[in-house]
């Protein structure tokens, strides 16, 4: 409840009373938002990553490939990003793989082609991957991360292979941005996230 308003006398106009400042209670302290927590005390839950934001992020990722821009790709990588498949480890191995692919193939030849159809993008949260029939949860996934499965519409051109059939991105929120915490590609239409191309 607010305290009563203070009343002052206007010294320049004797007899005129003027309302002073009203003292208000400070807003309640709100804890930092979290992705998930147990039911105790006051909590602030972070809003899930919106589908539209995921679609924009995927579009940005593939646009960087179409420009042949290693810089445009690496800026989307989290500092602790890992390949999702194979024996390689660390962000540098993801970047090295992408660099080799960009040097081996002319990705700008794919410019203007529709590589991804947004309606075909699938996503799973941490909790989604807890279901018995769900794909395996990738190593390194944290609560709040999402796994995004992107069927690639154009995987090759003139007999040259540019992408696997499906790109799999483990996406992590970083402030207001999204970053890739894990990346891999799979062949065929497996329900799981198994494959060999980082």
Compute CA 27 distance to the chain's CA centroid, rounded to the nearest angstrom: 31
Q: Write the DSSP symbol of residue 144.
A: T
Q: State how many domains the chain has.
A: 1
In the chain, DSSP assigns E strands to: 7-9, 17-19, 77-83, 122-125, 146-151, 156-157, 160-161, 166-174, 177-186
Q: Strands 177-186 and 77-83, how do they pair? A: parallel
pLDDT at 134 over 50: yes
- Which is more confidently placed, 145 or 38? 145
5 within some domain: no
**Which of 40-44, 106-110, 148-152 has the weakest average pLDDT?**
40-44
pTM over 0.95: no
Cα separation, 108 vs 131, in Å, equals: 40
57 within some domain: yes
65 within some domain: yes
Instruction: Show the domain range for 144.
Output: 51-186
CATH number, domain at 84?
3.10.450.50
Quick: pLDDT tens for 81-94: 999 988 889 999 99
pLDDT for res 191: 47
67 within some domain: yes
33 within some domain: no
**Average pLDDT of the residues of the chain:** 83
The residue to which tokens 């799999």 are assigned: 168
118 within some domain: yes
Percent of residues in the chain assigned helix, strand, coil, to nearest 5: 25, 25, 50
7 within some domain: no
- Which is more confidently placed, 26 or 9? 26
87 within some domain: yes
pLDDT for res 17: 57
pLDDT category, 9, cuts 50, 70, 90? Answer: low
pLDDT at 99 over 80: yes
């Amino acid at each position: 409840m607010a305290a009563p308003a203070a009343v002052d006398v206007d010294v320049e106009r004797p007899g005129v009373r003027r309302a002073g400042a009203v003292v208000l209670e400070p807003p309640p302290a709100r804890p930092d938002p979290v992705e998930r927590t147990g039911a105790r005390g006051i909590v602030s839950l972070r809003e899930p990553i919106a589908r539209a934001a995921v679609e924009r992020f995927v579009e940005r990722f593939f646009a960087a490939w179409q420009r042949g821009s290693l810089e445009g790709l690496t800026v989307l990588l989290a500092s602790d990003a890992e390949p999702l498949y194979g024996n390689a480890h660390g962000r540098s191995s993801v970047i090295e793989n992408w660099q080799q692919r960009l040097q081996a193939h002319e990705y700008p030849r794919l410019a203007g082609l529709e590589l991804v159809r947004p309606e075909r993008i699938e996503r799973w949260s941490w909790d989604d991957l807890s279901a018995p029939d769900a794909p395996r949860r990738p190593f390194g996934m944290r609560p709040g991360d999402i796994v995004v499965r992107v069927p690639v519409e154009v995987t090759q051109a003139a007999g040259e292979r540019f992408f696997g059939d499906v790109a799999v991105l483990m996406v992590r929120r970083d402030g207001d941005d999204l970053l890739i915490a894990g990346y891999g590609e799979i062949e065929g239409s497996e329900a799981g996230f198994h494959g060999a191309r980082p």
